[in-house]
Structure 1
Amino acid sequence: MAQNRKSPLEKAKGRIFFEKQDGALCGQHCLNNALQSSLFSAVDLSEIARQLDEKERQTMAELGTDTKEYREFIANPSSNFDDSGYFSVQVLSEAVKNVNLELVSFQSDDSRAAKARSDPVEERLFICHREDHWFSMRKFGQQWVNLNSTLNAPELLTDTYFNLLLSTLQNEGGRLFVVFGELPESDADQAFSNLRRTEGKLL
């Protein structure tokens, strides 16, 4: 009986690091899937959120601790994280700075963002936010992959479908961020480096 053998593309896909959704920790999964390792824990991101909260508190205090705005700020829960494990874009942005990366809004006036808008396929990593859910899409070699932690497994994308996803996300009110800087190399990068783009056919 002939043995089932995996195709080179399936083997490469198997090298992708992938965290599946746990509770509301999508921000953590989004970053770890994007960077291809268990780099950040919920504790790490919570600490970043607390530091951001403290900076905001100090800024508000400089304007006066007896103001209505300051009292409301102190009374309200953190805008950077909550008990469910959800984290703000400010937290994710600070987190990637720790590995010398930068999160830039896809729609910003930044010249790099303008270049990305002209040809998104040529970028390497997008962080996406829609309906309080964070996920990432990363290019390995010439292959774009959807690393959404709510999926059962990483999803290989044709360039056409990748562009369609970006457009759909924006049309539905989602936010997109391009990650700039030198991404850490991963096993998946090596595995996909010699494979052609997947065009017109998904696994």
Structure 2
Amino acid sequence: MNYQQLVYWEKQGYDQLCGVHCINSLLQGPYFNEVDLATIAQELDRQEIELLGKTGHRYRSQNVAEDGNFSIQVLAEALKKLGDLYIESVDSKINQNQDLSQESGFICNSQAHWFSIRKIENVWYNLNSTNKRGPEIISDFYLSAFLLSVKENGYQIFVVKGVYPPPQLDNIDQNDRQKVLTTQFIKQVHDRRVKKKNYKLNIGGSDEVEMEKALKQSKGEKYESTDEEFEDVQQPQKKQSTPKFQGQGVQFQNQKSAVNYPNFNIDPLDAEYRSIILMTLEQKFSMQLEEGLVILFQLPGGQNKQYTFSYDATVEDLYDFIFFESRQQPMRFILICPIQKLQLQDVSQQLLDIGIDTMTQIIVKKE
């Protein structure tokens, strides 16, 4: 495997395991899980209890919070277990007036969030687990300004020095949390995003977003989401009755779909036109791309389908694929992205623009 063209990144869900995601993304592989870090935290607690002479029931852990967030001591000990790795604050005397672009990686910590920054094949990446579109490229020119911005937003920044272990990318079962992305894919996403006026690198955690939402609501103010955040949950649509089908055409009993997908509007009596559409889609999906956005579909019957779409694919392409795959049993359906908690209703949207990247799971639900 050519590791030089791959970047490992862990995505945060509704857990508080940003410390795990931070250290694994820094090390470029799933070296640790929450149990590993919890074991280290317990050992540190034991040592501190012995040192302070406190009994266990009177001791409150400073190494792991009730929500699962780990301390800097835990992450430092985890790095030591891999050999010659140690951390130093960027504000320490030894790092003052140093060219930080010559380092290999950083870990950043606020009270409620961890994320890492790593240089991979001479390119800096922001590997924040709450990034909406995966790893973010940081130019050498912008690195110092980005670190200053991180610091001004209340983070402590630590340089991770020493000999890093090799990437651990073999036999990774990619899922909604663990992703191996090509540098080409990351660069294409970056080139699209930097053209936007509101482009900025992400330094926050989803917990901070929720805090701001709550603060706004307490003041009776409307919260305006930004391009950097996860999509809000859309209100569920009223469930439609099961569609009936007649002959070669599609009979939907005059239902109006919540999705603006044009093929749902095919005249049920126009079997010839439907056949033409299906022939066109058969040509469209006859060959898969060698590289692109790999989308995993879960069909209503429980079956799974997988297809590789182009990097500029739209939501309509996803509907086209399922429309063609369900040609033997036509149905109206809606596509749902569970990781984003988003119903895909606007078929004109490009997948990357709404945070759907490679190895994303899409659920196909009958309307």
Output the TM-score relative to the length of structure 1. 0.76
1:134 paired with 2:114, answer yes
Cα distance in 1 for partners of 2:29, 2:60 equals 31
1:19 counterpart (10, 13, 16) = 10
- Offset at 1:105? 1.2
Cα distance in 1 for partners of 2:156, 2:17 equals 18
- Offset at 1:76? 4.5
Give a deviation string over 1:120-142, Cα, whole Å, max 9, x none. 11111001112421000000121
- Offset at 1:202? 4.2
Q: How does 1:32-181 map to 2 (within 5 A)?
A: 32-61=24-53, 70=54, 74-100=57-83, 101-109=85-93, 111=94, 113-114=95-96, 117-152=97-132, 153-181=134-162
- AA partner of residue 137 (structure 1): I
- Offset at 1:74? 4.5
- Offset at 1:170? 1.5
Q: Which structure carries more relative contact order (alpha carbon 8 Å, separation 6+)?
A: 1
The 1:129/1:202 distance shift into structure 2, 3 A limit, reads: farther
- Offset at 1:185? 2.9
Cα distance in 2 for partners of 1:86, 1:179 equals 20
The residue matched to 2:62 in structure 1 has which SS?
coil
The 1:80/1:36 distance shift into structure 2, 3 A limit, reads: same
Contact 1:53–1:80, Cα closer than 8 Å, also in 2: yes
- Offset at 1:82? 2.1
Contact 1:105–1:178, Cα closer than 8 Å, also in 2: yes
The residue matched to 1:17 in structure 2 has which SS?
strand
Q: How does 1:182-201 map to 2 (within 5 A)?
A: 182-186=163-167
The residue matched to 2:160 in structure 1 has which SS?
strand
Contact 1:25–1:86, Cα closer than 8 Å, also in 2: yes
Cα distance in 2 for partners of 1:169, 1:25 equals 20
Q: Which runs of 5+ in 2 are unaligned?
A: 170-181, 193-367
- Offset at 1:161? 2.4
Contact 2:31–2:168, Cα closer than 8 Å, also in 1: no
- Offset at 1:186? 2.9
Output the TM-score relative to the length of structure 2. 0.43
Cα distance in 1 for partners of 2:24, 2:128 equals 11
Question: C-alpha root-mean-square deviation of aligned residues, in Å?
Answer: 2.5
Cα distance in 2 for partners of 1:147, 1:160 equals 18
Give a deviation string over 1:83-109, Cα, whole Å, max 9, x none. 321000000010000012101111123
Cα distance in 2 for partners of 1:56, 1:83 equals 18
- Offset at 1:160? 2.5
- Offset at 1:172? 2.4
Contact 1:16–1:187, Cα closer than 8 Å, also in 2: no
- AA partner of residue 103 (structure 1): I
Q: Which runs of 5+ in 1 are unaligned?
A: 1-10, 62-69
Residue-pair matches, total: 170
